[in-house]
């Protein structure tokens, strides 16, 4: 209720829509030093389509990268003769092959049913467990917001769920011992503070990675997902997207992310 609004604080007005006074469109770089990164995605192939060449760059610079894949990947086919169990087995093997090309260490498959994922407390706890196990400074995950910018990839519901659960796991659950206390008291997993999160598939990125030297490695990893890609067309499509992202930034080929700094 109350009366008319009071005087506007110029500093506060300038920071409206920001976190801790940092504009959401401020350009970021990857944190340094960086020793460990964790990639949390919904399906086998999501990590590669979202960040393969970036991941290749990280591992080539000595960063340990691990994956968490939240679903079993059992729905991604148009072949009526393939059963969900067969497809899941195939895609797990393809994910390992792609990860080996990129130099990724461990892959944790949480096994939630493909297509039905929700950002549940169970999923959040399972991701917190892996964050506390791997203790990454950097987490790469999927955009939790549905895109409404006329992009045909409006957002798979599993991607939205994984992104939301991962952000909720990073903050505050992984860093506070009273969130999921059984992870601390029973599994001896100490709280952990992630320093940076990168979101794939965003409308307004603020971090660009030059992938000119790692593009071909990233493409080979994408091609390892043989059940999901057309090898005759995917290379040209991925290269053109990297070019369109990079050229406005003065970069030959690039991948773009929304970066969140938690320091």
Interval 179-204: pLDDT, tens: 999 999 999 999 999 999 999 999 99
| Burial letters 71-92, b for 16+ CB under 10 A, else e | bbbbebbeeeeeeeeebbebbb
Q: What is the CATH classification number for the domain harbouring 103?
A: 3.40.50.10320
Instruction: Examine residue 17 and state whether it is found in any structural domain, yes or no.
Output: no
Residue 163 has phi, psi (to 5 degrees) of -60, -45
Helices 234-246, 215-223: axis angle to 10 degrees equals 140
Give helix then strand counts, H and E, for the chain: 8, 7
- Count structural domains, the chain: 1
Interval 149-165: pLDDT, tens: 777 777 899 999 999 99
The residue behind tokens 């990590």 is 47
**CB-hemisphere CA count at 13 Å for 173?**
23
Taking residue 62's Cβ as centre, other Cβ atoms within 10 Å add up to 9
Interval 77-91: pLDDT, tens: 889 999 999 999 999
Instruction: Examine residue 193 and state whether it is found in any structural domain, yes or no.
Output: yes
Contact 64, 34 (CB under 8 A): no
Instruction: Examine residue 9 and state whether it is found in any structural domain, yes or no.
Output: no
Query: What's the CA gap between 89 and 135, in Å, rounded?
Result: 28
Instruction: Examine residue 19 and state whether it is found in any structural domain, yes or no.
Output: no
* Six token digits for residue 19: 């976190």
The strands making up 254-261's β-sheet, listed across from edge to edge, are 107-112, 64-71, 36-41, 138-142, 196-200, 254-261, 207-210
Instruction: Examine residue 4 and state whether it is found in any structural domain, yes or no.
Output: no
The yes-or-no verdict on residue 166 having pLDDT over 60 is yes
Structural domain span for residue 39: 32-261
Specify the 3-state DSSP secondary structure of 36.
strand
pLDDT at 5: 37
Instruction: Examine residue 14 and state whether it is found in any structural domain, yes or no.
Output: no
Instruction: Examine residue 22 and state whether it is found in any structural domain, yes or no.
Output: no
Interval 93-110: pLDDT, tens: 999 999 999 999 999 999
Instruction: Examine residue 26 and state whether it is found in any structural domain, yes or no.
Output: no
């Amino acid at each position: 209720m109350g009366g008319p609004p009071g005087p506007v604080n110029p500093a506060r007005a300038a920071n409206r829509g920001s976190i801790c006074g940092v504009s959401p469109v401020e350009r970021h770089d990857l944190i340094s030093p960086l020793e460990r990164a964790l990639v949390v995605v919904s399906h086998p192939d999501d990590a590669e389509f979202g960040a393969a060449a970036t991941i290749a760059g990280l591992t080539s610079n000595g960063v340990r990268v691990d994956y968490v894949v939240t679903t079993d990947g059992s729905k991604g086919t148009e072949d009526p003769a393939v059963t969900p169990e067969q497809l899941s087995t195939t895609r797990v093997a393809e994910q390992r092959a792609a990860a080996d090309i990129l130099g990724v260490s461990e892959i944790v498959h949480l096994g939630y049913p493909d297509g039905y994922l929700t950002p549940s407390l169970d999923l959040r706890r399972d991701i917190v467990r892996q964050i506390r196990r791997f203790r990454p400074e950097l987490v790469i995950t999927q955009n939790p917001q549905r895109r409404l910018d006329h992009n045909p990839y409006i957002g798979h519901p599993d991607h939205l769920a994984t992104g939301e659960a991962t952000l909720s796991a990073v903050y505050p659950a992984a860093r506070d011992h009273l969130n999921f206390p059984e992870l601390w008291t029973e599994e001896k997993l100490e709280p952990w503070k992630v320093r940076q999160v990168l979101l794939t598939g965003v409308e307004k990125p603020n971090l660009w990675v030059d992938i000119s030297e790692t593009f071909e490695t990233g493409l080979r990893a994408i091609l390892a997902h043989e059940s999901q890609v057309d090898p005759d067309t995917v290379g040209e499509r991925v290269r053109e997207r990297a070019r369109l992202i990079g050229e406005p930034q003065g970069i030959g080929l690039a991948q773009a992310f929304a970066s969140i700094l938690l320091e």
